Amino acid sequence: MPEKVIARVTSLSTPMKGQKWRSSDDFGTTSVPESTIHLRWDIAPNSNSYYNEIYFDVAEDHKGSDKTAFTNIHTGTQTPVDKYDKLYIGNPRNAGNSSFDIIVVAVYTDE
């Protein structure tokens, strides 16, 4: 099946300065092809030696209280196709003391 990278974001291994949970800047998933079946979340292996052990959550940025969109994501996780303008990574686990790069891939059909 064809794939398209729709987002790339770097996450810190701990929350950002002044944050309790958030570890990345905002990114979006609105540029998915119409025939997308699911999203796949990959951690770039060359970005962190623990890439295969890292888990994180994803939240939608709102004014006021943010909403958790996905939990316990790790490299290769597939999630439903949800279009969000402002997502961010939070609650990273098992990343050691290094940041890591996340690649969000849309998997779609040719139809």
Q: Which of 98, 12, 26 is nearest to 63 (CA)?
A: 26
Please give the pLDDT value at position 109: 92
Please check the confidence at residue 110 and state whether its pLDDT lies above 90: no
Beta strands at 3-11 and 100-108: parallel, antiparallel or unpaired: antiparallel
- Region 82-103: mean pLDDT is 97
Please check the confidence at residue 31 and state whether its pLDDT lies above 70: yes
The more confident residue out of 64 and 18 is: 18
Please give the pLDDT value at position 65: 87
Q: Which amino acid is at 30?
A: T
How far from the centroid of its chain's Cα atoms is residue 71's Cα?
Answer: 10
Please give the pLDDT value at position 64: 84
Residue 111's pLDDT band (cuts 50, 70, 90) = low
Number of structural domains found in the chain: 1
Q: For residue 71, what are the domain limits?
A: 3-108
Domain harbouring 44, CATH code: 2.60.120
Q: Which two tokens stand for residue 79?
A: 């999630």
- pTM, two decimals, is 0.94
CA-to-CA dists, residue 109 to 1, 5, 7, 32, 92, angstroms: 6, 14, 19, 12, 31
